[in-house]
Chain A
Amino acid sequence: MTARALVSRAPLVAFQIALGVALVVKGLVSSGVGTALVTLALFAVWIGGTLLNSWLAARPGASRFKAFAIPLVFGLTLLAMWEIAVRGYGVSTVILPPPSAIAVRFSHSLPILWEDFVQTVIKGALSGFVIGCVAALVTAVVVDRFDFLRRGLLPVGNFVAALPIIGIAPILVMWFGFDWQSKAAVVVVMVFFPMLVNTVEGLHDTSAMQRDLMRTYAAGYWTTLFKLRLPAAMPFIFNGLKIASTLALIGAIVAEFFGSPVRGMGFRISTSVGLLALDLVWAEIVVAAIAGSAFYGAIALLEKAVTFWHPSQRGHGH
């Protein structure tokens, strides 16, 4: 394969090879053979991963397998490069611990991680998420009932949703104390407005024809709400829930920076940074990432279930 063909067929690999050769030569000239070898290994892994993925992507069929395998290969490539770079270049573990050290730390401090998880995610984020979303749903129904409120509250809600709400964390910590209640309060305020704006928008998403049909059935306000408008709003509501799920975790963790009991993920992260125990910090990050992905994934699954359930229900009903 000529260089020209390579560039046109796989611009990414060509770019990687060019960059790799340049950096290896630079390493040879300025820092000796050892560094150059590490750079070489680094780029070998990167190019290998990319080639494997290119091959996987070009294979015909089995798209579900590909959708799973290709991101996995990419992630593993990144992890391998991280490990090689940290060990090869001798980066201090105080600055960046290698993935293997993080994994060891993770498995050794499971009790601490579990305690922090319960404090921050279950007590702080989840309770606040539920309260905030339910409150926003109820408010949205009320706001939707009165057009005056809708026209007044929606611009305000949109404005507030763009503000750095996380800033009220110190105030709420002052009001509700150091324990999880103040974190839940921060989460409630953070998730309320995105949820409200989305739900109100969703409740408006029925066509005049659909509403007229409900009227010909002599359906009252509540029947129309439960049988037509709430179901029709579901895509919007789930959009709001997804935004709220990431906000909830952020709110609960950041609120702990302003004061917390001696447990919780935010507390652990800020104190471990002070103690230079970066492997523990990264272990907490892994927990946060897993919790965040699981939370988001659960909502996505629920959305699928509801969207599936919903048209069938409408088929049976009125």
Chain B
Amino acid sequence: MRAVVPVLTVVAVIVAIWYAAAVWLNAPWARDMAARQDRELGAAELVVDTWSQDKPKLPAPHQVVTELWDTTVEKAVTSKRSLVYHAWVTLSATLAGFGLGTALGFALAVGIVYIRVMDMSVMPWVIASQTIPILAIAPMIIVVLNAVGVSGLLPKAVISMYLSFFPVVVGMVKGLRSPSAMQLDQMRTWNATSAQEFVKLRLPSSMPYLFASLKIAMAASLVGAIVGELPTGAVAGLGARLLAGSYYGQTIQIWSALFMAAAVAAAMVGLIGVLQRVTLRRMGLDR
């Protein structure tokens, strides 16, 4: 709890800077409009105007909050104007990709730990695969999969999968190798089969690593789903809201979509954090 006061202070400072920046960035437009109507703007009027423009360069925080309230609570969840609906579209793709990526990452990690050739041949390519900016080729993947007849949720999930399998592979390889030689010897003296060794020693000791990687994978997966929505022509989802907002200069819409994405990311990562605490406590690994 020692951190509450400093964190609140920092957040308050950020909000204050934001309001100030809104005045600074939106002032030229406000002055311009006033000049056209042949009137002078006083300092107070200027501030009020810059905080309540329709298409500001930087919307003030309260405008974003109002928009968020309007599009989440006031609208029906099924409406296409509801941000909850768009967030759900993105979240479903994120979760599908996250599930696939975790499964793939887990399988690869087991293979890499148990099969020497895979360790030497696959691991360097797993690392190299992440230097390819997959987000950049997202449009191609979407279009090509569409051409093959796969559309909707799956192409986005594929991009999320590609981004999320990497942290899981790296973390799980580390985790599955974390038992010491002495512990492995102990299993051998108990005449454990390699399946038993995996289930009773390697898997439990990899859990802390697994949860740390899952958090990173979830964040990456959400980014993948959002970017995957960009080339589909802005149909639905948070990415589509971003793109539509940038086409029509609806900055308030962009910012509210951004905040929704942040909230989704925080909720998902927080959920994994809770799972982590519960699991590790039951396993007696909690410190």
Contacts and interface: CB of A to CB of B under 8 A. Distances in A.
Interface of A: 11-12, 50, 53-54, 57, 66-67, 70-71, 73-75, 94-96, 148-153, 155-156, 159, 162-164, 166-168, 170-171, 173-175, 246, 249-250, 253-254, 257-259, 265-266, 269-270, 273, 278, 281, 284-285, 288-289, 292-293, 295-296
Contact of A273 (B117, B125, B143, B222): B143
Contacts of A74: 121-122, 125
B255 A171 contact: yes
A164 B57 contact: no
Interface in B248-287: 249, 251, 254-255, 257-258, 261-262, 265-266, 269
Contact of B136 (A12, A54, A152, A250): A250
B242 interface: yes
9 contacts: A57-B117, A71-B120, A156-B10, A167-B239, A246-B133, A254-B133, A257-B230, A258-B246, A278-B144
Interface string B54-80: 000100000000000000000000000
B9 interface: yes
Given A258-B246, A278-B140, A95 B147 contact: yes
A18 B231 CA distance: 40
B265 A164 contact: yes
Select the residue from A150, A164, A173, A259 with max chain B CB neighbours within 10 A: A164
A164 B215 CA distance: 13
A5 B227 CA distance: 48
B121 A270 contact: no
B136 A269 contact: yes
Contacts of A292: 131-133
A162 B144 contact: no
Contacts of B249: 174
B232 to A, nearest CB: 12
Nearest to B124: A71
Contacts of B9: 148, 152
Nearest to B138: A254
Contact of A54 (B7, B8, B117): B117
Select the residue from B2, B131, B215, B258 with max chain A CB neighbours within 10 A: B131
Given A95-B148, A159-B266, A253 B135 contact: yes
Contacts of B39: none
B136 A254 contact: yes
B231 A270 contact: yes
Interface in B207-244: 215, 219, 222-223, 226-227, 230-231, 238-239, 242-243
Contacts of A73: 121
Contact of A289 (B10, B132, B215, B262): B132
A168 B262 CA distance: 11
Select the residue from A159, A168, A171, A259 with max chain B CB neighbours within 10 A: A171
Contacts of A95: 144, 147-148
Contacts of A173: 246
A249 B57 CA distance: 26
A163 B133 contact: no
Contacts of B101: none
Contacts of A269: 136-137, 139-140
Secondary structure call for the A interface: helix
A303 to B, nearest CB: 15
A54 B119 CA distance: 11
A12 B118 contact: yes
A253 B134 CA distance: 10
A2 to B, nearest CB: 20
Contact of A94 (B2, B147, B258): B147
A254 B227 contact: yes
Nearest to B122: A74
B245 A167 contact: no
A94 B130 CA distance: 25
Contacts of A284: 136
Given A152-B7, A257-B139, A164 B246 contact: no
A57 B120 CA distance: 8
Across chains A and B, which 4 residue pairs bring their CB atoms closest together, nearest first? A152-B6, A170-B246, A292-B131, A74-B121
A162 B215 contact: yes
B3 A163 contact: no
B7 A250 contact: no
A175 B136 contact: no
Contacts of B148: 95
Select the residue from A74, A152, A266 with max chain B CB neighbours within 10 A: A152
B139 A270 contact: yes
A154 to B, nearest CB: 8
Contact of A288 (B14, B124, B133): B133
Select the residue from A11, A12, A162, A166 with max chain B CB neighbours within 10 A: A162
Nearest to A163: B262
Nearest to A171: B254
Given A148-B6, A152-B9, A162 B266 contact: yes
